[in-house]
Structure formats: structure tokens, C-alpha cells
Amino acid sequence: MDFTLTETQSLLKDTAERLVREKYTFDERKKIVAADESYSKALWDEFASLGLLGVEIDEDCGGIGGSFADLAIVLEAFGRGLVVEPYLSTVVIGVGLINTADKGDRRKDLLTQVAAGTLTLALAHGEPKSRYSLEHVETRARKDGGDYVINGAKAVVIGGDSADKLIVSARTDGNATDRNGVTLFLVDGNAAGIHKRAYRNMDDRGAAEITFENVRVPESAVLGPVGGALPLIEAANDRGAAALCCEAAGAMKAVNEITLEYLKTRNQFGRPIGKFQVLQHRMADMAMAEEQARSMVYLAVDFANEPDAAERAQAISAAKVQISHSGQIVGRGAVQLHGGIGMTIELVVGHYMRRLTSIEKMFGDIDWHIGRFAAA
Amino acid sequence: MDFTLTETQSLLKDTAERLVREKYTFDERKKIVAADESYSKALWDEFASLGLLGVEIDEDCGGIGGSFADLAIVLEAFGRGLVVEPYLSTVVIGVGLINTADKGDRRKDLLTQVAAGTLTLALAHGEPKSRYSLEHVETRARKDGGDYVINGAKAVVIGGDSADKLIVSARTDGNATDRNGVTLFLVDGNAAGIHKRAYRNMDDRGAAEITFENVRVPESAVLGPVGGALPLIEAANDRGAAALCCEAAGAMKAVNEITLEYLKTRNQFGRPIGKFQVLQHRMADMAMAEEQARSMVYLAVDFANEPDAAERAQAISAAKVQISHSGQIVGRGAVQLHGGIGMTIELVVGHYMRRLTSIEKMFGDIDWHIGRFAAA
Amino acid sequence: MDLKYPERAARFADEVRAFVRKELPAEIRDKVQRRQKITPEDQRTWQRKLCDKGWACPSWPKEYGGPGFDVMERMIFDNICSEEGAPSALPFGELMISPVLFAVGSPEQKAQLLPKIRTLEYWFCQGFSEPGSGSDLASLRTRAVQDGDDWVINGQKMWTSGAHNANWIFMLVRTNTEVKQQEGISMFVFPMSTPGITVRPIVTMDGEHHTNETFFDNVRVPKTALIGEVNKGWTYAKLLLGHERTSIARIGQSKRELRRLKALASEINITGAPLMDHTPFRDRVAAVEIELLALEITALRAIAKGGSPGVEANLLKVKGSEIQQKLTELFMDAAGPYGLPFDPDRGLHDGNEPIGFDEAASLGPNYLMTRVVTIYGGSNEIQRNIVSKTLGL
Amino acid sequence: MDLKYPERAARFADEVRAFVRKELPAEIRDKVQRRQKITPEDQRTWQRKLCDKGWACPSWPKEYGGPGFDVMERMIFDNICSEEGAPSALPFGELMISPVLFAVGSPEQKAQLLPKIRTLEYWFCQGFSEPGSGSDLASLRTRAVQDGDDWVINGQKMWTSGAHNANWIFMLVRTNTEVKQQEGISMFVFPMSTPGITVRPIVTMDGEHHTNETFFDNVRVPKTALIGEVNKGWTYAKLLLGHERTSIARIGQSKRELRRLKALASEINITGAPLMDHTPFRDRVAAVEIELLALEITALRAIAKGGSPGVEANLLKVKGSEIQQKLTELFMDAAGPYGLPFDPDRGLHDGNEPIGFDEAASLGPNYLMTRVVTIYGGSNEIQRNIVSKTLGL
């Protein structure tokens, strides 16, 4: 656990923070969210040119060959900016899976494209009945000659609305909740037989319900071991949760700053409302919640790529629980302290609450993570 | 649900409140608790002469033939006074069991003695391993000719240290956690083979661990149906919980009054501490917790003698949960608002917290009652 | 669990329930239960049914066309209507301005306004808060100055909820700047069609248009628009805000939501078993149910006690709103990933299947919007201030 | 779960653990683990072991006889000692008065006092609070007036914890009544055997004698008893109270208690299964464990950051104390009916079996006594005041 920044990290921090400050103002973000496209392709190109898409990608693929701790720096800045671009689905989940599970030319090709900003990815795994159970996969991939034919439905696929390629989990063997028998496939986002219902989530990120109707892929579409993908999916889920912890830390810091400023400037009963002790203490609790969350970010970052699945699970779950609790205290507190004005969509405060609420519900909620932590 | 007092209730209220105010001051109580005897026999006689022991006892037995609602009036006053006399064990639990389960001359004889103040009772039911499970009875009563021979151990028997007679649950049939096979026996408190380890509970009430070593009683000692006592015990437990709700309401009202007064008179930083908004809001929460608890007292009183066991269970559990939560808010809040002085044994505030904590843990704790409520 | 009411009250409850089940159009009930937007036409449809039955404006005495319920009947009526999925009565006409009219309205005002409030022909909104005055309402700055027989109003009001549907407004304005803040405020009522009024939507974070900011640019109203005496508006407002607080507990609505929560959590499975059987979740639901039960009895006690409410009135607001929020949080917990897809229309689409499960679309927006209940009607912080004042601190 | 420390730190942790396991007498460890009263002799026994090892007064630099740990070693040392059941170091000598002596003590004071503080020959208590000044410490009224070369002290101190075991005291007294409260306070140290001192026990609601009120009746002390400059005592006190706050988090102790809680709850059965498998209880325990883990990292961050602590110092006090209380509440939940029998001696009887289960006797008193942790060392309300000041409110 290292609390100081490396030189690379300082650079990344400056880059990402400046980008958010200058190019991702609340007004700019509004335009992005109001557009038909689910995210700004122009900004995505800029992410690429700044090296932000290749943080964990090897240098020979055009990346900077960094660590999750490096990625965390970018994620925190993006949390502050409430960035809606498919960074989580492509750079955290997608790159993580390819880094671990793929090899050879395809790996190099995919990572090079991601780093260059010409390829977005999404993991299509959760299903209408799976909730947070990672082993619950009803989608099936049937062997047909040299191909696989995929049938099933995937739910709330983050980034699935716009991803160039989907990483789809499907059963090649076993029953709906068996740990074995799940395989990952790399599938074109607009392959024949794919139907998408696209929407935005509460945090304005793009997502989709995706059905697969006899989607035919060659054997070479398999990513990782046939029937043995669950450990990869669990690792991806933990990386996703860890990434959200980083985003949440950025979001909490930002909304706490905004709320503190409001307390100092909003007058009621002839004085700044920050002079009322009850509001002071609530703000103090929000500041302390942010600090406790930040501490757990270090834990999450430390364990995000931990190969020991049991250790990783416990650490990530602990972090996610704390961050979720802190997020509730900070998000709800910020709205309450702002009063009526905090309820409006024109103020960024409510959007932070929406982001923090979404973060709480993604990659396992409090109940799921606390259960996993306690069972360890 | 009736929120107004009957004439009898007004009289009882005056009587019980005056008694507590004049005879059960905190100083008097200290002497009672410091004495070797677990309670004041002189006061017990006074309870009898004021009619307080016979509230639910028929008039032909020397009682006033009242209802649980009448009893509630006395209990609330006793909660305010932190009374340690064995009223709960004798008048609530003991009389309740005899009223329901006994008949004929013995019933009349027992109730007459209780009303007159010459007989105290205690239900010896809980066991070292039973926790709050009422059906968990390992103590056994073996038939031996015309007698029963009792062997086993009873835990935390409220009033068991001093009771003239014990109402003992023992298995005449079945396994440790069967619902059937439990029988109640009326046993002399000092019968041969009974060993007591007496102590005071956190609320200063007398209690005891009691072991039964070949305690021989005649068949006529049986109270209620052989093998079918569990419903009686459940009813007794619910009456006990309901009674504690009443006591708690009295205790909360008293300690809230004391704390409010302290906030008005204790000065720090040049003004009464009750001028600090954070302390005001905490006091407001304590006052609201008291009101919510009081509402549930009406529910508990309404259902204390309800014959439909399922309805009774749900209502009493709801009341007990609310009262316990309110008791935590009020008890812990009162100590915190008093600061250091609230920690001392010389101040009554800590004793209210001790009482409220004890109430929370008797006749089922929050976890037990919330589970029972939810399962209904 | 349900409380046992006295027999007479229980009979009345049955009567109300039978009426709502018979008369409330299923389509409206479904919208309410699924937390979808109730249109003004839905609201008027239900109001007509109530008028026909003689139960419109249940809080009103008989002399003004109300049903003349006693307080217990009133509470039962509200609770049962909400439990059964009837649209909530709009508070502004029936509950807020009307009691003021009863007390200090002129005979002409009463005759003109009350019958049409009852039928919802006159749909009121409230002009109280301003950009600079939220909890500190008395600092409001919208001015009315006398000009001949008229008053001319200039200023801006915030949070004029429903002003886009309303055709009348009651509002507080400053009519004297020389005196203590509270003593220079008057209350006016007039049509929203009066020239000079501009209503601009405020979209809340649930993505919906519930409320507005309303601008007054030389709005000229006759002297008959003044309610009661000039500069006495603050006193009338306090009367009216008291009413807001008790109805804000929304006990019936919370009972309805609790029932739906249990139903939903019985359908949703986690790791093969219904969520409702997952004991940590089950216990959290039970804890809310118990608090709500206590609150219902607290309301009954407040009614039985009569007179001016003490700590209970504030408690009803504080606990009632906290319970509403907890329920929305539990719904979000139940929804899991399907709480994420965000749909400001709350599933009111043409032809589209709902995402996830039937009512999922309303849970996110409802969770967000319900954050307001601890803010409006006197924030919970203000309520606790009042409690501590009542306690003598 | 346990944090991964850097390798050097992990090696040090192993070394400390091995030392404590080898040298701490089992009887003392058992008392600590069962929350029983630690006698002065127990405390001195352990202190001798620490002195022999060179680890006494772990917060001290080498020049004064301390081990010269860095902040990380210091935290690890404290946590491991507590986790393994060593008696907590008494704060008054090592942690509170010593840093003041380091900073402003005279060479004679340092030479006389520090070596004997290290060996616990000098056992200190603290005379700060007074009946009228709790959170508002600066309002204290105990006076010292100069009389020739001496100072003569009159007044009363409250909460002089351990004064009945102590042979020295450091205290704040008013030496100037003409100036702002904070500017007329001085700090003195002197033996408790000085004539005129009366110690009266205060029994707390757990039934034990931890603390006292102490009276000063013309207590004459030499001018060498003055610490630093006259009327600068408030500055020194703030220095010293900062130290109190970080050590008050008691992370190691809470880790020990958490481990014991899990062990106990695995032994206790409810309806046939271990309490630890009852998911609502298990989840409550996990929630505390997670908060504690976060706090441990927060402490590490505060250490890594160095310099004067910000919000983290108050956070350590607030969360640390709340965690301690939650743990005692969970122990009471685990104990069930056996939390009721009340035994101020916490099971330290001759010959008597414990009531219920082995450590049950300590749970009730410990639950009650632990209410103090949100009160002492600057109440949690004061801590939050400080945080909001730090934030600029």
C-alpha cells in the first residue's frame, strides 16, 4: 500500500484532471448526454491521444504499460468529471480480460486498437435473472460444426449499447448456476442475430439489454479456456468494482467541495447556513465518510489485479461496502444540505448522487459484497 | 386501542406515582439495592395494601379484577421508579400463568396470597442453552410413582432468587426442542434438591441460576396440561415483553425529563448546553423516540392477553422492537448528553440506561422479535 | 400487520375500501401503484367520483360541501384511499388555502372559490419560496404595492409545484418593508391567467417536470385578491403550513409501498431463493414496517388528543418522510441491477416492454425524487428545531 | 481480514508478536482478553518486560530512552501488543506529559522524571477537568498563587482517572484571572504525596472504581513544579490532547475484540446453528470489521502524510470510539440473556464458576463503561466541531 504518487502517476493526474477541468465541464457534459450518440467520439480520440486508453496496455501495443494504480488516477479524475464515455467497459473490463485471457496476434491487435481509440468493448455477462450471481448463466453456445451458435439474453450491459465488440459469456456446458461450463466469446457488436435495446443508466452511462438469436461465431471467437471462464469473469467483476471505488472517491471529493462551498455562501436567517451546528456536523460526517472511502480505495487498488481470488474477493468486497456506505452519506447528505436546489437537474449535485447510487448497484451491491466478505 | 384513562386507571396512576415519588426516591432505591435482601419486604407490603399486587386478580381473591391496561399504569410508574421488587415475576408472569392455567381452590389460594403480599412467584423456564427459544427445554421431569422427579438447570430466572414458589418448566416427553412435551410444575422455592446462585441483573433486579437435582414433587404440582405447557409459556413471555414495554415508557419519559433539565441548566462555553443545535436535535430525536415507543405501548397493552397466539406474537414483537430501538436512542443519548457525569453510578441517568438495556434483552431481544414479526 | 380499529371505524374503513375498489378506474390505480405520472385529467376523473359520493375534500366541514368526517374518519379515509391506489389529493386547494379561507376569507371569496376548489375547476398552486428564502421563508422579497384599488406584484417564486397545471395561485408577498419581516407579509389569491405571470419549468433530478419557477412582472390584481387583512399573511401561512405537515406523513401511501415491496421481493430471487426470505433484507423491511406501525398509532394518538399538536406533528413529518425514503432505498436494493436503467417516463411508453420487470422503471426516479420529502414542507432540520423549541430549549 | 504491510513492516510485526507471545504472562493476557481489571502490579510486570527489551515508551525517541520507532513501527507495535492481549500503556506518563517535557521541560525535570516514567516508578494521573468545565476546559477555576518561591494550589479536579494508583500528577491551574481564559493557565507536575491532596473515588455505572475527584487544599509546590512558562499551560495542553486523540482510536484493541466476538458467536447457538452463521448478525459484524479496516488504513495514511494531522485525527477518534461501542453492543447481542447477570468484578471471583459462559461477566460492565469513549478525550461532538472548523465552517 503506497500513498505517494510515482512520476507517471503525477503526470497522468495532471493530464486527466486538466482534461476534465477544461473539456468536461458540466455544460459540456450536458451536451454529450443530450446527444443521440451515447458518448463523445471526439473526446474518446482525445483520451487516446493523451494515452489514457492505454494505461494498462503494453508499450508494444501502443500503451504505457502501467498498473492498476496508474489507472486509478485516471478513474478518480473521471469520477470527478462524471465522465460517461465507455472507459469502464473498454479500458477496465475489456482490456483486463484481454490482458489476462488472450494471447498472440489477436491480443496485440485488440489492445493496439483500444489504445488507439478505434475499438470499444463491453462485457455482456449479467442476465435478467442472474442479479449479481456471476455463475448464473443461461445464455447457451451450441457447437455446430466449426462454429458456435449463441442464444440468450444479457441484461444491463454497461457500454453494450455502443461497443464495437462484445465479450459474451455463454454456457458451453452445465446447468444455469454451475461454476463450470461458462465460455467467453468475442463477438462483433452488430453481428447478425444481435438485438439491442439501448438506454442510459441513472449515471448517464450508455447500457443495453441485448438478446442473441442464433448468433453464429467461429471457434476462434473463444476468449480464454472453454468452459472455464468463470474465474476470468470474477476477476473482471472485481476489477470493475475496484474501478468504481476510484471513481467514487473522485465524485465524493468533488461533491463535498461543492457542498462545503454552498454552506459557506448560502445565507438563511441572516447568516451562512454553514454556521448552523447541525449542518456543520453533517458536513463533518460527509468529510469523514470521504476519508474512510479514500482509505479503501488504496485497498481496492492493491488487490484489483491480485491473482489469489479469495484474497482479492475479500479486499474488493470490503472496499466496495465502505465506498457504498460512504457514497450514501455523501450523496444523500449533499442533496439534503443543498435543500430544494439540490433536487434540480440543472445542478451537478444531483448528478453526483445519481453516480454514487449507480456505483453502489454495479458489480455487486452492499448486500452481495458484505455477504461475500463475511463468508470468506 | 383506547387513549383515555378509566376512573380506575386514574386512581391507580395517582397511587403508583405517589408511591414512587415519595417512597422510591433514588436514595431509597440505593438502600434497597445495597441491602442483602434482594428487595424491600416493607415496600412489598405497601404494594399489597395499596392494591397494586391484585390488579389482575379477581375480587373474590382480594384483587381488583382489572385488566392488563390497568396493570400497565402501575408498570409505567414502576419503570419511572426503577423498581426492583419482584413485581414482574410475581404479578405479571406468575399471576398471568395462574389466571390462565390454574383452577379451583389452589388457584384461589395462590391468587389470594399474591394479592395479600404473602406469596412471590417466579417462572423458571430459560436454560443455559436455550437463549430465547421458548421450546428449548432440557430439564426433565420423570414420573416416579405418584410423583415427578425434576432434574435440570434454569438460567437467569428473574425473581428466582427470592420467589416463595417457582413455576418450573420441564420435559415430561419429547426431545430438547420439541414443541410438545413441556409441563409446568409449581415447586417450593426452597424444596430439597434446589440449588440457587443468586445475583442482581444489570437493572438491579434479583435473579438466579437454579439447578434441580432430583427435586421430587407430587402429581398435584402440575400447573396446566401435562405436556402442553408451551402455549402458556409463550403467552407468559408475551405478557412479560408487554409489561417491559410499559416499564420502558416510564423509564424513557423520566430520563428524557432529566436530560432536558440538564440541557437547560448545564453551562459550557458561556451558555446552557441546550443552546447547541446538535444537542437540541439529539434531544428532539430522543423525544420522538419516546413518542414512538409510547404508541407501541398501546399496541402491546391491547394484545398482551390476546388469545390468538399468532396475532399476539406479531403485535408484541412489533412493540418490543420499537421499544428496544427507542430505548437505545434514549438511554445512550441521555448518557452522552450528560457527558462524564452521566457515567457515574451516583447519577440516576446511568441506571435508566441499565434498565433500558436489560429490558431490551429480556423476553426476546431485537433480533428474536424482529425475526418473529417478519416470519408471521 | 394491520391495526385493529374500533368497530365503527373498521366499518367505515370497509366502506371506503369498497368504494375505491368499485369506482377508481383500474388504469389510474395502476399508474399510482407503478408510480407513474398522474395527468390532470386522471386527477379530475377521480375528483368527480369523490364529488358524486360526497367525499371530495374530506378535510372540509359539511357547511362548505365537505363530508364532515371526524378526525378518525379523515385519517382512515386518507389511508385507505392511498393504500388502494387512488391519486393523492392535491394539497394546495383543499388542504392549504381552504382552511385559510374558512378562517379569514370574505363571504365573496368563500362563495367564489370553495365550490370550484371542490370540483378541481380551480386548481391551485402555491407561491411561497423564493430563490433567497428556502427554510427562512419570512425573508421573502416579492413585493406588492398598492396602486389605486389594485395591487401590483413584482418578483419571483421558486418551487411553484404544479404551476404548469394550475389555474389559480395563492401567494405570500411583502407589502411592508418598514417592519419586522414577519409583520410585512400579505396573502393573495388570483388566477394564473392574470397578465404578467411567466411559469418556467424546473426539471428535478428524476428527469421530470413537477415544479417551476414563476415570475411576476407588474402583475395587477384587484383588492379582492387579498386574503384577510393586509400584513397578516404570515399568521395565515403558519396555519396552512401546519396542515401540510400532518398530511405529509403519507402513512397510507407508505403502507401501499410496503405491501408492494414485499410482493416484489417475494418474486425476485437471489441465489435461488426469494429475496424476501433473505433474512438481512427481511429484517430491514420488518424494521420499517414496525416504525410505520408506530407512526400510525402516533397519528391516532395525535387525533385522539385533539387541540394543537405538540411534538407529534413534527414527528409525523420527520418519521413519515424518513420511512418514505427508506422504502425507496429498499426498493432499489430489491431491484439490484435493474434499478440502473434510467427512464424519466417511468415506463409510460407506447408499445415498449418494461426493462427488467414491470415496475422497475419507476424505482430509480422515485428513489431520487423522494429525497425531497426531508426537504420540503419545512425541512427535517427545521422540524427538529421546532421540536426542541417545543421542549423549551 | 488482515492488511498486507510492506515486507519490512511485516517482519517487525512478526518480531513484536513473537516477543509478546513469549514474554507476556498468560495470566495477564487472560485478564486483558476477558476485560478484567488489570492491577498496578500487572501493569508494572509488563512494563519491566518492555524495559528489558528496550521497547518501553514506544512513542519516545532514543535520546530519552525510547526505542526510536518510526511512525509505522509505532502503530504496528501498538496494534500487535493490543491484539495479543498486552495491557494498554497508561497514556498519562508516556504519551501525555512526556511530549510536553520533551518540548518545554527543564533539563532537571527531564532528568528527574523521564527515566522513572519509563519504568513506571512515577505513575502519573491528569488533573484537567473540573466540575464546571468538561468540554469547555478553558473555563477551569482551580487556582495557583505564588507565595515566595512556592505556588499554592486550591481547587477541585474531576475525572482524575487512576489517581488512586498514581504517585504523580500533572495538572492545569489558573495563574492569572485578569486575562482571556486561555491565557491565564499554567501546567504543574508534582507528587501525589504532597500534603493537601485528597482523592475521592467516583464509581462509574459499570460498578467499578476507575476514576476520582481530587481536591487541592493549600497544596504547596516548589517553583520547579511549573512546566515551561507561566500562563502558557493551554498551549502545552493542546499539544498533549492531540496525542490523546490518535491513541484513542484503539485499533489494535478493536481488532482483538472483533476476533473474540467472532469466536464467541461461533460457539453460541441460536435455534441449532452458530450465531455467527445467522446472516443478519454476521453482516453486522462484517460491517464493523470493514469500518475498522478502513480506519486502520486511514491511520496509516495519516502516518504516511506526516506533519500536523487534519481531519484524520478527529476521524480516528470519532470512528475509533464508535467502533469500540458497536463491538460492545454486538457482544451484548451475542450474550443474549447472559448479558443480564451483573458482576462489577467481571468474573474475578475466588472459586466461583462464571455465570453463563466464561467471558459473559465482563460484557455488561464493558458495554456500559465503553459509553465513555465518545465522551472523553474531547467528546465526539467536540471532534465534529473541530472537523467543521478545519473545513472552514
Phi, psi of B328 (to 5 degrees): -65, -45
Which residues of chain A neighbour D379 with C-beta distances below 8 Å? none
**Same-domain check for residues B106 and B150:** no
| Interface mutation vs chain D, best among C278, C279, C284, C333, most D CBs within 10 Å | C279
**Same-domain check for residues B72 and B155:** no
Give the tens place of pLDDT for each residue, C217-274: 999 999 999 999 999 999 999 877 766 555 678 999 999 999 999 999 999 998 889 9
Does C132 sit within 8 Å of A201, measured CB to CB?
no
Helix or strand holding residue A188 (H, E): strand A182-188
The reported pLDDT for the residue numbered A355 is 98
Domain count, chain B: 3
Grid coordinates representing C129 are 419560496
Distance CA B196, CA B38 (A): 14
Distance CA B187, CA B171 (A): 15
**Same-domain check for residues B21 and B145:** no
User: Over 80: is that where the pLDDT of A2 sits?
Assistant: no
Confidence of residue D133 (pLDDT cuts 50, 70, 90): confident
Q: Which chains touch A (3 or more CB pairs under 8 A)?
A: B, C, D
Cβ atoms of B23 and B43 within 8 Å: the answer is yes
Q: Which of C213, C374, C386 is nearest to C313 (CA)?
A: C386
> What's the length of chain B?
376
Amino acid at site B309: A
Confidence of residue D242 (pLDDT cuts 50, 70, 90): low
**Same-domain check for residues A350 and A237:** yes
User: Over 60: is that where the pLDDT of D149 sits?
Assistant: yes
The domain that holds B188 is classified in CATH as 2.40.110.10
Does D338 sit within 8 Å of B344, measured CB to CB?
no
Task: Select from B276, B278, B350 the Cβ nearest to the Cβ of D205.
Answer: B350
Which residues have a Cβ under 8 Å from the Cβ of A71 and sit 6 or more positions away? A55, A56, A91, A92, A243, A246
The chain D residues in contact with chain C (CB within 8 A) are 278-280, 283
**Chain C contact for B365 (CB, 8 A cutoff):** no
**DSSP state string for D169-237:** EEEEEE--SSS-GGGGEEEEEEETTSTTEEEEEEEBTTS-EEEEEEEEEEEEEEGGGEESSTT-HHHHH
Does B131 sit within 8 Å of D281, measured CB to CB?
no
Task: Select from C129, C205, C268 the Cβ nearest to the Cβ of A350.
Answer: C205
Distance CA A50, CA A53 (A): 8
Give the tens place of pLDDT for each residue, B320-345: 999 999 999 999 999 999 999 999 99
The reported pLDDT for the residue numbered C349 is 72
* Pairing, β C124-127 against β C185-191: unpaired
The reported pLDDT for the residue numbered D272 is 86
Distance CA D233, CA B134 (A): 61
**Minimal C-alpha gap between A49 and chain D (Å):** 34
Q: Cell match 432499489: residue?
A: C332
Residue A297 three-state SS: helix
Give the tens place of pLDDT for each residue, C31-62: 999 999 999 999 999 999 999 999 999 999 99
Q: Which residues of chain B have pLDDT under 50?
A: none
Which residues have a Cβ under 8 Å from the Cβ of C4 and sit 6 or more positions away? B1, B302, C10
Domain boundaries, chain D: 7-89, 124-234, 249-390
Does B269 sit within 8 Å of D132, measured CB to CB?
no
**Same-domain check for residues B274 and B347:** yes
Q: Cell match 399476539: residue?
A: B312
| Domain-ending residue, one of B70, B103, B119 | B119
Asked if residue A1 is part of any domain, the answer here is: no
| Domain-ending residue, one of B86, B119, B152 | B119
Nearest residue in D to B362, CA atom: D337
Task: Select from C133, C203, C278 the Cβ nearest to the Cβ of A345.
Answer: C203
Distance CA B334, CA B353 (A): 8
The reported pLDDT for the residue numbered D5 is 76
| Domain-ending residue, one of B119, B139, B171 | B119
Which residues of chain C neighbour B283 with C-beta distances below 8 Å? 388, 391, 393
Give the tens place of pLDDT for each residue, A310-348: 999 999 999 999 999 999 999 999 999 999 999 999 999
Confidence of residue C91 (pLDDT cuts 50, 70, 90): confident
Task: Select from A131, A335, A358 the Cβ nearest to the Cβ of C270.
Answer: A131
User: Over 60: is that where the pLDDT of A357 sits?
Assistant: yes
Nearest residue in B to A275, CA atom: B277
Strand partners, A272: A267
Give the tens place of pLDDT for each residue, B41-95: 999 999 999 999 999 999 999 999 999 999 999 999 999 999 999 999 999 999 9
Sign (positive or negative) of CA dihedral B59, B64, B69, B71 = negative
Asked if residue B2 is part of any domain, the answer here is: no
**DSSP state string for D236-292:** HHHHHHHHHHHHTT-HHHHHHHHHHHHHHHHHSEETTEEGGGSHHHHHHHHHHHHHH
Nearest residue in D to B268, CA atom: D136
Does A264 sit within 8 Å of D392, measured CB to CB?
yes
ipTM of the complex: 0.96
The reported pLDDT for the residue numbered D310 is 79
Whole-number percent of chain C with pLDDT over 90: 80
Cβ atoms of A88 and A159 within 8 Å: the answer is yes
**Same-domain check for residues A242 and A366:** yes
The domain that holds B74 is classified in CATH as 1.10.540.10
Asked if residue A21 is part of any domain, the answer here is: yes
Q: How many CB atoms lie within 10 A of CB C61?
A: 12
What pTM was computed for the model?
Answer: 0.96
CATH fold for the domain made of C124-234: Butyryl-CoA Dehydrogenase, subunit A; domain 2 (2.40.110)
Look over chain D and give the mean of its residue pLDDT values, rounded to a whole number: 93
Whole-number percent of chain A with pLDDT over 70: 100
Distance CA C297, CA C116 (A): 34
Does B292 sit within 8 Å of C294, measured CB to CB?
yes
> Which CATH superfamily, name and number, covers D249-390?
Butyryl-CoA Dehydrogenase, subunit A, domain 3 (1.20.140.10)
Asked if residue A200 is part of any domain, the answer here is: yes
Asked if residue B208 is part of any domain, the answer here is: yes
**Same-domain check for residues B197 and B325:** no
The domain that holds A344 is classified in CATH as 1.20.140.10
| Residue tagged active-site, from C23, C183, C244, C291 | C244
User: Over 60: is that where the pLDDT of A251 sits?
Assistant: yes
> B240: number of CA atoms within 13 Å, CB side?
27
**Same-domain check for residues B240 and B175:** no
Sign (positive or negative) of CA dihedral B249, B255, B257, B260 = negative
Task: Select from B336, B340, B357 the Cβ nearest to the Cβ of D158.
Answer: B340
User: Over 90: is that where the pLDDT of C71 sits?
Assistant: no
The reported pLDDT for the residue numbered C244 is 54
Which residues have a Cβ under 8 Å from the Cβ of A358 and sit 6 or more positions away? A201, A202, A203, A205, C340
Is C244 a catalytic site residue?
Answer: yes
CA-to-CA separations, C377 to C124, C126, C213, C242, C243, in angstroms, rounded: 17, 12, 17, 9, 10
Look over chain C and give the mean of its residue pLDDT values, rounded to a whole number: 93
Does A287 sit within 8 Å of D387, measured CB to CB?
yes
Grid coordinates representing C296 are 400510525
Nearest residue in C to D282, CA atom: C280
Look over chain A and give the mean of its residue pLDDT values, rounded to a whole number: 97
Which residues have a Cβ under 8 Å from the Cβ of D363 and sit 6 or more positions away? D35, D328, D331, D332, D335, D338, D339
Cβ atoms of A215 and A191 within 8 Å: the answer is yes
**Same-domain check for residues A145 and A245:** no
**Same-domain check for residues A138 and A237:** no
Give the tens place of pLDDT for each residue, D349-381: 767 788 999 899 999 999 999 999 999 988 999
User: Over 60: is that where the pLDDT of D316 sits?
Assistant: yes
Which residues of chain B neighbour A263 with C-beta distances below 8 Å? none
Distance CA C318, CA C247 (A): 12
Q: What is the extent of the structural domain holding B38?
A: 7-119
Which residues of chain A neighbour B276 with C-beta distances below 8 Å? 277
**Start-to-end C-alpha separation, chain B:** 22
- E strands, A8-146, where? 121-124, 140-144
**Same-domain check for residues B235 and B361:** yes
Q: Which of D293, D247, D288, D321 is nearest to A298 (CA)?
A: D293
Asked if residue B60 is part of any domain, the answer here is: yes
Does C279 sit within 8 Å of D280, measured CB to CB?
yes
Residue B194 three-state SS: strand
User: Over 60: is that where the pLDDT of A18 sits?
Assistant: yes
**Same-domain check for residues B245 and B337:** yes
Grid coordinates representing B88 are 414482574
Q: What is the mean pLDDT of residues D230-237?
A: 94
The reported pLDDT for the residue numbered B324 is 98
| Residue tagged active-site, from D15, D208, D244, D291 | D244
The reported pLDDT for the residue numbered D244 is 54
Asked if residue B1 is part of any domain, the answer here is: no
Q: What is the 3-state secondary structure (H, E, C) of C53-110?
A: HCCCCCCCCHHHCCCCCCHHHHHHHHHHHHHCCCCCCCHHHHHHHHHHHHHHCCHHHH
Q: Which of D96, D142, D151, D158 is nearest to D122 (CA)?
A: D96
Task: Select from D202, D280, D341 the Cβ nearest to the Cβ of B207.
Answer: D341
**Chain C contact for A240 (CB, 8 A cutoff):** no
**Chain A contact for C201 (CB, 8 A cutoff):** no
